[in-house]
Structure 1
């Protein structure tokens, strides 16, 4: 039996969560109205793709979701392990879309650059970032065929 949660639906055992997003194609360029709980926002395409550039496009939202999830996961781990002393956790995420001859397309590569400042030494910080990646729901949900590169912001 599912029990309503403010942010999602969670079963009584705490093992499943279900999220609900509603979308509506607007009659303005490529605009899509998105409703998530009490939050309303637009997805759109840039002018070059027949949109009105009123908001990020869906791929940019996907990459944003990944960055947001990684950051929230880092904050959660830090809250349970204050010795980490997380002062800064930033990501720069780039995605490459591959277009196929049948006119379909998909993300085939994502690069994530981390800029992390903490009380950890280099080895511990690397382990912390690996834990963040491991426990990030959005990251775990991405297609395994997408190559994901991880870059340390200090080592380019």
Structure 2
């Protein structure tokens, strides 16, 4: 088995603005002003969509050669629906995504059968997509400083 552990640290800065760091790379997350933030960065939900799109794109790049696909250009558009009443505490409403949709835009002169093979491989092997689609264990703890 080839298991890899990834790590990240997130610190609340001010209001609802947070700084996330992993492997020395940092990003700022915030909420739009209409949701109480200062709009200094994407919110975690938007970043989740970006993570999925990024992972799908990286998979395309990594698997294209094995499918004999030459990528001239590749992009992903994503959208997801959340019923915010779940976030606000409504009973029987999940606070997370209800649905996520994406479209892969593939510019390639390769045969369509090869492109279809690539798309299937991307969809089957994308770690972020897999994580979002199945139940995974998330365990939390806390310490008082």
- TM-score category by the smaller chain? 0.7 to 0.9
Matched pairs, number = 130
Q: In 2, distance between residues paired with 1:143 and 1:69?
A: 14
Provide, for residues 22-56 of structure 1, a one-character-per-residue CA deviation record: whole Å limited to 9, x for no partner. 001112x3101111111111111000010010000
Instruction: Give the alignment's TM-score, normalised by structure 2.
Output: 0.81
Q: In 1, distance between residues paired with 2:65 and 2:114?
A: 16
Q: In 2, distance between residues paired with 1:70 and 1:144?
A: 17
User: Which structure 1 residue ranges, 5 or more long, are not aligned?
Assistant: 1-12, 146-156
CA apart distance, 1:123:
3.3
Picking from 87, 110, 118, the partner of 1:128 is: 118
The corresponding residue for 2:12 is 25
Instruction: Give the alignment's TM-score, normalised by structure 1.
Output: 0.76
Q: In 1, distance between residues paired with 2:133 and 2:63?
A: 24
Label 1:132 to 1:143 Cα distance change in 2 as closer, same or farther (>3 A): closer
Q: In 1, distance between residues paired with 2:120 and 2:26?
A: 33
The corresponding residue for 1:97 is 82
Taking only aligned residues, the RMSD between alpha carbons, in angstroms, comes to: 1.8
Of structures 1 and 2, the one with the larger relative CO (CA 8 A, separation 6+) is 2
CA apart distance, 1:144:
4.2
Deviates more, 1:118-127 or 1:92-101: 118-127
CA apart distance, 1:104:
5.6
The structure with more helix, counted as a fraction of residues:
2
The corresponding residue for 2:53 is 67
User: Which structure 2 residue ranges, 5 or more long, are not aligned?
Assistant: 136-145
Matched, 1:45 2:35: no
CA apart distance, 1:113:
0.9
